[in-house]
Amino acid sequence: MDSTSITSITARLDAVRGGDVRTRDRVCDEVVAELLTAGTPPAFEVRSADLRGDPFFICADRYWRGRFEERPTAGTALRCARWMARHVREESWGVVAEQWALGNGFLNRGSVESAEQVARALADATDGATGAAAERVAFFLTLYQAGKLRANFCFDELHGFLAYAPSAVAAGSLRAAPVYTALQSLAAFGSRSLTVAYASELLERAWSAPDRTRHTVDICLNGLAFAAPFDGQGELLRAYASLAVEGWPDDHTFHSRLATGLHMCGRHDAALDSIDTAFVLLAASPTASLGVLQNQYLTQRDAIQEGRLRALRDAEQQARWERQDAANTQLERSLHTSSVRAVEVVAVFTAAIAFAVGSLQVTLTGDLPLSDRLWLLAAQGVGLALFALLIVGGTWVITRSHRRGRNGGE
């Protein structure tokens, strides 16, 4: 592409800066189509990573997205990294690298290369880059491959790749970047062989980094959301996602993560509010994966709705069980009380019969004087009364201790 065409493209993009969104998108699409047809990458400078207002970044983003869709390989990532070294401003390089490497890795997750293929692509570099420039190229290739592994939930493979892959080792000092630590945390949370304590330590280190980026926060929440289940997972995700929403209130992804955390905590109504907010924000977001995210959010909303209905059914069933348990307890108490009363009645009735029979024998037989017979009847009556009172009192004491033990058990 000649200098006249390059000047024309720059002028056209300058003209739509800050203008109508539809006009800007149309011009960017036209420029990208021309560049892809000519097989020439953009020759202008990228000064930001603003997908909403910078037509130069939008145009470059769509151009490289098209190149990655055409050939989703480490070789394309290598060419993109070289282009970035010449055309992306220093202060924006890190954010642009995360956006393009991780984003295109997600979009092209269906074609995962081996670590050896990534290493060969890095070794085939012929631009003679050394030092910081070489580390940036290796870092970009590593993030691109990590984006694919992350999107496919290959947690153990991701952990090994970040630790030992030649491209990861070649990234050198850039491995200390918060986004790299966040990826390690995600891999550790998803792995069944690494501990939650280790993953949480990496998460805290990435989250508390003063130069953390939006992608760092996203990966941290992603790791918590898809971690192997552990105690306190839902509350931890809810707490971190709430902080993310406070920092980026217009980010649909963070509202979706908050909905997941709330759902895990059983707060289904609040979770529905959050996922509905995510839908609204997604519709206004300039994202290349709109359809994919819409399907994910729909699935998530269905799961929250199902959880809400299940919780309502469980609460209703629990209330029914409690009512039945109360009725059973009342019936048990009634039967127990009736049994005690029956024992007491039988004891008194038995004593009365014994007294009647004994008194007849004393009255109708023998030749004792009347006064002696009366004293004998009185003694017999007192003895039988004491017997009845002993039976009734003992029954009362036994049942009283039983009731105390049962109430204490409750």
pLDDT at 308: 81
Which residues pair with residue 88 across a beta bridge? 46
* 288, pLDDT greater than 70: no
* 126, pLDDT greater than 50: no
- pLDDT band, very low/low/confident/very high, at 53 (cuts 50, 70, 90): confident
**In 3D, which of 339, 344, 345, 348 has the Cα closest to residue 402?**
339
- Tell how far CA 58 is from the center of its chain: 32
pLDDT at 128: 54
pLDDT at 372: 64
pLDDT digits (tens, 9 = 90+) for 337-360: 666 566 655 656 665 665 555 555
* 125, pLDDT greater than 70: no
* 187, pLDDT greater than 50: yes
* 123, pLDDT greater than 70: yes
Range 58-84 average pLDDT:
93
Q: What is the mean pLDDT of the chain?
A: 84
CA atoms 158, 161, 162, 168: torsion sign:
negative
Percent of the chain with pLDDT over 70: 78
- pLDDT band, very low/low/confident/very high, at 293 (cuts 50, 70, 90): confident
- pLDDT band, very low/low/confident/very high, at 318 (cuts 50, 70, 90): confident
Which residues touch 293 (CB under 8 Å, ≥6 apart)? Answer: 252, 282, 287
- pLDDT band, very low/low/confident/very high, at 250 (cuts 50, 70, 90): very high
Lowest mean pLDDT among 185-189, 238-242, 361-365: 361-365
pLDDT at 394: 67
pLDDT at 133: 87
Alpha carbons 37 and 172: distance in angstroms, whole number: 37
Three-state secondary structure readout of the chain: CCHHHHHHHHHHHHHCCCCCHHHHHHHHHHHHHHHHHHCCCCCCCECCCCCCCCHHHHHHHHHHHHHHHHCCCHHHHHHHHHHHHHHECHHHHHHHHHHHHHHHHHHCCCCCCCHHHHHHHHHCCCCCCCHHHHHHHHHHHHHHHHHHHHHCCCHHHHHHHHHHCHHHHHCHHHHHCHHHHHHHHHHHHHCCCCCHHHHHHHHHHHHCCCCCCHHHHHHHHHHHHCCCCCCCHHHHHHHHHHHHHHHCCCCHHHHHHHHHHHHHCCCHHHHHHHHHHHHHHHHCCCCCCHHHHHHHHHHHHHHHHHHHHHHHHHHHHHHHHHHHHHHHHHHHHHHHHHHHHHHHHHHHHHHHHHHHHHHHHHHHCCCCCHHHHHHHHHHHHHHHHHHHHHHHHHHHHHHHHHHHHHHHHC
* 64, pLDDT greater than 80: yes
pLDDT digits (tens, 9 = 90+) for 363-404: 555 566 766 656 666 766 676 677 667 766 666 666 665 555
- pLDDT band, very low/low/confident/very high, at 410 (cuts 50, 70, 90): very low
* 195, pLDDT greater than 90: yes
Range 326-338 average pLDDT:
69
pLDDT at 321: 78
Asked whether the beta carbons of 23 and 16 are under 8 A apart, the reply is: yes
Range 147-169 average pLDDT:
94
pLDDT at 324: 77
Between 102 and 6, name the one with better pLDDT: 102
